[in-house]
Chains A and B, each alone.
Chain A
Amino acid sequence: MNWGSAAEFFAMGGYATYVWGSYAVSVLVIVGELLLHGRRRRTCLRRLGRRVRPEKNPS
């Protein structure tokens, strides 16, 4: 175990900005990629639904 306390863990030996800045942005990028793809997929499915069954999904 490297850390005496939670505060020590979050302080990262004085490098908190750099370490957490790296991890936080990486998480944001991955979440952003998943969200962007989700939006693209929903748009695609909506278009397909409209095209195949136009009477049920008026555009």
Chain B
Amino acid sequence: MELNIWRFASPQVIYPIAGRMVPVFMALAALFTLAGLYIAFFVAPTDFQQGESYRIIFIHVPAAWMSMLIYLVMAFWCAVGMIMNTRLSFMMALALAPTGAFMTFIALWTGALWGKPTWGTWWVWDARLTSELILLFLYVGFMSLHAAIDDVRRADRAAGLLALVGVVNVPIIYFSVQWWNTLHQGASVSLTRAPSMASTMLAGMLVMTIAAWMYGIAMSLMRLRTIVLEREADSDWVQELFASPACGAKA
């Protein structure tokens, strides 16, 4: 049997597959969160400089990484949608945007609560913080622009263009701590050198990052299914799905 990957560009094919994947990824997210929180509070030692306040890192860094990664994936789907003209791609992008915005908010919020005890201020207009705030505005702008245009295809293209232009902000966030003199510290973890933190702290952070990934996948697939139903409401397969007696259970 020949595997045709284009089959998976069809909302009708993806809908039940995503439905089976959601509980798996949600369960994984819960498991990794429990393990991560256990490491974060009971295994990782007290920081010799920051005391217990550093424990905010276990949500702050995974949320900040996710905020950037989700944006890149969202922009990728917008690009695919604009080039290939596949309607599912934009649905993927729309499914990711709220989760990305929530992750950005968590990164900013926990950053403020971490900044107060360590820097003495909730907020500064330095490059890292400002560019992360712009990321939040990009997510909100993407969703608002899409919601403001009635014609769905035009909304897809306009919001997609905004998402693609906004991609330039992601490297600015990531490298801001090197390019400018920021109050925000440089990266403690990078691909090119050994991390500058205790191994149990790093382990907690990575486990929480995996948890955030699993949650992000589960949540965006859940939302994708709803968006598919909203947008394909007139199609035969959705009508059939809801015409059967067991429609509540199946959908």
Contacts and interface: CB of A to CB of B under 8 A. Distances in A.
Interface in B113-129: 113-114, 116-117
Interface string B228-248: 011001000011001100011
A41 B222 CA distance: 9
B55 A26 contact: no
B233 A37 contact: no
Interface residues of A, number: 32
Interface in B38-69: 41-42, 44-46, 51-53, 55-56, 59-60, 63
A13 B55 CA distance: 11
Interface in B79-104: 98-99, 102
Given A2-B41, A13-B46, A37-B219, A19 B55 contact: yes
Contact of A12 (B52, B98, B222, B223): B52
Contacts of A18: 53, 56, 113-114, 116-117
Contacts of B55: 12, 15, 19
Interface residues of B, number: 40
A49 B59 contact: no
Contacts, number: 94
A25 to B, nearest CB: 5
Interface of A: 1-3, 9, 12-15, 17-19, 21-23, 25-26, 29-30, 33-34, 36-37, 40-41, 44-45, 47-49, 51-53
Interface of B: 41-42, 44-46, 51-53, 55-56, 59-60, 63, 98-99, 102, 105-106, 109-110, 113-114, 116-117, 215, 219, 222-223, 225-226, 229-230, 233, 238-239, 242-243, 247-248, 251
